[in-house]
Structure 1
Amino acid sequence: MSHEWDVVVVGGGNAGFCAAQSARERGARVLVLEKAPREWAGGNSYFTAGAMRTVHGGLDDVAGLVEPFDAGCVDLDPYSEQDFLGDLDRVTGGRCDRGLAEILVSESRQSLSWLKQLGLRFELMFHRQAYEVDGRFRFWGGLAVGVLGGGKGLVADHLTAAAAHGVTVRFDAHVREVLTGQDGGVEGVVLAGGERIRAAAVILACGGFEANPAMRSAYLGPGWDLAAVRGTPYNTGDGITMALGVGAQPFGHFSGCHSVAWDAGARPVGDRDLTNQLTRGGYPFGIVINADGERFVDEGADFRNYTYAKYGAEILKQPGGWAVQVFDAKTTPLLRPEEYAAPGATKIEADTIEGLAKALRIDETRLARTVEEFNRAVTRERFNPTVKDGKRAEGVRPVKSNWAQALDTPPFVAFPVGCGITFTFGGLRIDEAGAVLDTAGRRIAGLFAAGELVGGLFYFNYPGGSGLTSGTVFGRRAGRNACA
């Protein structure tokens, strides 16, 4: 063995840094090993918008957490533990592991305060989670707080905090094996090239298998090898594979993932400059059609926070694996400029629906019929983007449950989208301490896990902003208990 540490953390994203800091607080000698080179620091965390779902008591509660703001024109309802648990239960079809969910929810608020103590900075996400109605900014969808500077700011602050608190970080350090002793307990790791690093505990926080097309096809199914990767190309399932190799128990929704509507012209893996700006999350205010000119989802089924992570999979199912979001002059002002006006956004504009169809190479008659039928089906309720307004499109299939407005005011704008995969839901089974369990339900001594490779929290879907919060909560627990 060439080195000796108290705790080795595999993976340098939000979960990994939280685990490292938690262990360091207890006096441990901590080494973070990151597979990627320095210029790809941060894992998937770098590519996020930085939103963090948390329990809170309303505006007064979050005011001490976030950067200063003008509270006189802001409405923010409290978000209780019951609200958070209810959202988790609802969007996962009741399958989320109750014990893990309760830990995530109950420790969400204190974990954000802990991050702030480490030096991370937060803001109210006016640009993503609030709309101005009657002169007041109202937050919606149970989500209001985000890291200042998004994923880029998050990673920069984590790196600064790690250096300040004595956490050692190595890049270009590809861990390929977990070392175990004769008793089955973990004794360290082996890097590509053969270097052995001894440690009393190892925390796996190196993401899922979303950047591994072979594993995507094997677990998610045919066609998933064609999905674009929203984030880092280095999350290839190494941690899951290594842990299963030493007897860890697979757990969670291995055929499920977080996937979104993603700019159809985006590169196959994450863009370090545009990061989350390639998401196209404004679909609740328009319609989404496939290559046949037909709608295929209820764009207004719920707030974007509760549907965007599952609609990427619906796009991948369509002919050619792509779709188009269509808006008119009334609805385009509601689109977030950081996404829809981002440099190089794939966009088509025309004065007529037929002209739009021609540019998209979609049957003009069919698309015109789809839009005409949708427009006739729109009900007369008042449009309000901050609540589920019940303004529906009825008598069409699928219905649109909220925020339906006739697309009748040129110019018409179309944004072609594909499926962008964020992270996979299947992973390792952990207990309340963050310890990895074996196939008999016993702890593997010295092995812990946090972040995207923890299974059991998310099935089918996920409430927006839960991923970074989960990485923080369980990373903090893993680091603390690894020192025991």
Structure 2
Amino acid sequence: MSPSEAMSDPKSVAAKAREGGYDVIVVGGGNAAFCAALSARESGATVLVLEKAPVEENGGNSRFTAGAIRFAYEGVDDLREIMPDLTEDEIAMTDFGSYTKDQFYDDLGRVTQYRCDPTLSEILIESSFETMKWMRSKGVRFAPIYGRQAFKVDGKFKFWGGLTVESWGGGPGLVDALTASAQKNGIDILYEAQAVELLYDGIDVSGVKVKHDNQVSEFRSNAVILASGGFQANTEWRTRYLGPNWDLVKVRGTRFNTGDGIRMALDIGASPYGNWSGCHAVGWERNAPEFGDLAVGDNFQKHSYPFAIMVNADGKRFVDEGADFRNYTYAKYGRVILNQPGQFAWQIFDQKTKHLQRDEYRIRQVTKVTANTIEELANKMEGVNPQGFIETIKEYNAAVRKDIPFNPNVKDGRTTEGLEFNKTNWANTIEDGPFEAFQVTCGITFTFGGLRISEEGQVMDTSGKPIPGLYAAGELVGGIFYFNYPGGSGLISGAVFGRLAGRSAGAVATQSSRAAQ
């Protein structure tokens, strides 16, 4: 057996870890974790990634995403740096626009009600484009999001909402590319390895206790990076921190993100930070399974609601579906749906906007009813008061400003007037059958509360001092998102802060290794 084959063997990797054979241990196996691992490896550090999931479910929440990534760019020349495969024909037929740093700052501040940590926000936004180029250098490929973020107008695709690029192959493609890059760069990965406790003597973190292969062992290292996600898959924590009914939601992604990294850090005095009662939650297929299904991926989401209306069990609208582009409302509307009677809603489309439905509306695993008349539809939508719904449609149709042109590419100001919940953009009457209705509930993506970190990615304790040897990245970093989030910000946040944590941990760890020699 060659050395490389020996290192890929789980028993050999675990033995090396028990002997203190790694400079840096990364807890987690998704986008943030691998960006941290690759960044630490650049400094010459030996790196081990601990993935709690089995190999067939690896990648954390990253594998379940559609792969959209938000970053600042000035125009098509910037995009060509990360997408060199762009053809001249694609460029000619597309208005990519630009998404400046100022626009990113404005969007992040606006949707978080300006509670986002200013230092972390600056790091995120100012580093976003360079981080995309760095990811490209590590073998991650990117492509324009034609199917979900652009509409064709007058023969030309136009992007909207500041979100233009996705990883090739979506979330699975991103995880696979990062995993391959890690293996190519000599980073070891141990699957079904759950970190249960940090090794901490009151001064320094020197590794982790790991449950693997039916035993608990001490894995020693010079630095530990926590990148194991939020606590969205932990029913008890959701109810404790998010509140009543959060035990009833569907988990969009992995079943393995139960807050282990956060708990281990808090146990040694780390400072909690951020919006602990907040989370990213969306409209999700009512009859989806308890956790994400990799065969379906992100297609249980139902995000074309800006071109529809939503009603609750009383048959009443309860939210402004057209308040903003989907990118800026979808992550908070799951909570609104959860607060409705029975924790569900129905999205209703007529033929004028059916063609604007995203791909997820055409999968087999949907709760959908169709009808030729509103009265027939009212009686098919399970759990809905038919008369209340019919009255809602009548009032809504009468309130639509038909004199204002409809344009799905901009906030068109086509509104309703005189309703309790006016639709401020993209209002169209619901009168052209056949009609379609899709039932949704709340699907939680990730939690916003987490750990406080320094500008170097180091975890801070409750007295405001950094904990030597401990770093964090990804969903378990608190202070960035509050109440809501601009679409595609999660992956870029994981990448930016993963790269930062890896660079800082790698530098300290290799320095410690040299000093020990």
1:64 aligned counterpart, secondary structure? helix
Q: Tell me the CA shift for residue 88 of structure 1.
A: 0.6
1:107 aligned counterpart, secondary structure? helix
Identify the residue that residue 207 of structure 1 maps to in structure 2. Answer: 229
Does 2:77 correspond to 1:54? no
Does 2:377 correspond to 1:356? yes
Identify the residue that residue 165 of structure 1 maps to in structure 2. Answer: 185
Structure 1 gaps of 5+ residues are none
Distance in 2 of aligned mates of 1:472 and 1:157:
13
Distance in 1 of aligned mates of 2:484 and 2:429:
29
- Please, which of 481, 495, 503 is the counterpart of residue 458 of structure 1? 481
Q: Tell me the CA shift for residue 343 of structure 1.
A: 2.2
Identify the residue that residue 8 of structure 1 maps to in structure 2. Answer: 25
- Please, which of 105, 115, 118 is the counterpart of residue 85 of structure 1? 105
2:222 aligned counterpart, secondary structure? strand
Identify the residue that residue 61 of structure 2 maps to in structure 1. Answer: 44
Distance in 1 of aligned mates of 2:80 and 2:136:
13
- Please, which of 259, 267, 279 is the counterpart of residue 289 of structure 2? 267
- Please, which of 106, 110, 113 is the counterpart of residue 130 of structure 2? 110
Distance in 2 of aligned mates of 1:24 and 1:156:
18
- Please, which of 361, 371, 378 is the counterpart of residue 340 of structure 1? 361
Deviant stretches of 4+, over 6 Å: none
Does 2:466 correspond to 1:443? yes
Q: Contact 2:81–2:133 at 8 Å: present in 1 too?
A: no
Q: TM-score, normalised by structure 2?
A: 0.92
Q: Tell me the CA shift for residue 265 of structure 1.
A: 1.4
Does 2:202 correspond to 1:179? no
- Please, which of 208, 218, 224 is the counterpart of residue 196 of structure 1? 218
Q: Tell me the CA shift for residue 227 of structure 1.
A: 0.5
RMSD after superposition = 0.9
Q: TM-score, normalised by structure 1?
A: 0.98
Identify the residue that residue 227 of structure 1 maps to in structure 2. Answer: 249
Which AA in structure 2 matches 1:187?
A: S
Q: Tell me the CA shift for residue 363 of structure 1.
A: 2.2
Q: Tell me the CA shift for residue 329 of structure 1.
A: 1.1
Identify the residue that residue 139 of structure 2 maps to in structure 1. Answer: 119
Distance in 1 of aligned mates of 2:63 and 2:275:
24
Distance in 1 of aligned mates of 2:177 and 2:231:
26
Distance in 2 of aligned mates of 1:2 and 1:241:
23
- Please, which of 76, 80, 84 is the counterpart of residue 63 of structure 1? 80
Identify the residue that residue 98 of structure 1 maps to in structure 2. Answer: 118
Structure 2 gaps of 5+ residues are 1-16, 509-517
Identify the residue that residue 30 of structure 1 maps to in structure 2. Answer: 47
Identify the residue that residue 317 of structure 1 maps to in structure 2. Answer: 339
Q: Tell me the CA shift for residue 365 of structure 1.
A: 1.8
Distance in 2 of aligned mates of 1:212 and 1:277:
23
Distance in 2 of aligned mates of 1:378 and 1:71:
37
Q: Tell me the CA shift for residue 184 of structure 1.
A: 2.0
Q: Tell me the CA shift for residue 393 of structure 1.
A: 1.2
CA displacement 1:175-199 (0-9 Å, x = unmatched): 1000012x42101100123211000
Does 2:167 correspond to 1:147? yes
CA displacement 1:310-333 (0-9 Å, x = unmatched): 000000000010001000111111
- Please, which of 392, 401, 412 is the counterpart of residue 435 of structure 2? 412
Identify the residue that residue 251 of structure 1 maps to in structure 2. Answer: 273
Q: Tell me the CA shift for residue 352 of structure 1.
A: 1.1
Distance in 2 of aligned mates of 1:196 and 1:17:
22
Identify the residue that residue 279 of structure 1 maps to in structure 2. Answer: 301
CA displacement 1:430-475 (0-9 Å, x = unmatched): 0110000000000000000000000000000000000000000000
CA displacement 1:92-129 (0-9 Å, x = unmatched): 00100000000000000000000000000000111111
Equivalent residue pairs, number = 482
Which AA in structure 1 matches 2:34?
A: F
Which AA in structure 2 matches 1:277?
A: N
Which AA in structure 1 matches 2:279?
A: C
